[in-house]
Amino acid sequence: MLSAVSTGADLTTRIRELFAESPATEMQLLNIAAKARFSGRFRDLKRTVDGLVAEGELLLVHHGGGQYYRRKDEGQGTEGTKGTQGMESPTGP
């Protein structure tokens, strides 16, 4: 069983492992905290996750009024990440 982590390299490693296990999953910060067994201040978790976004490892996606984080695919840029999941292209066949 995983022990709780608070900050630093252990937390970053756990978050990376979490998204590596399920790369297509989108999670909010509280879900990340629970699944990574985070124990500490919320702002420390947010700072760590935002650092992974800044490094290009995760994407911040907005839809349904919420903020979700997901793993960035190799060929995926950051454009079109605001509320575009599940929408068809307007230029269809």
Q: Where are the domains of the chain?
A: 8-71
| Cα-Cα-Cα-Cα dihedral sign, residues 24, 72, 65, 90 | negative
At 60, give phi and psi (nearest 5°): -100, 120
Q: Which of 27, 28, 35 is nearest to 5 (CA)?
A: 35
CA atoms within 13 A of residue 60's CA, in its CB half-sphere? 12
pTM equals 0.72
* CATH code 1.10.10.10 for 8-71: yes
In the structure, what pLDDT confidence band is assigned to residue 19 with cuts at 50, 70 and 90?
very high
Share of the chain above pLDDT 90, in %: 53
| Nearest alpha-carbon partner for 44 in 19, 2, 10, 82 | 10
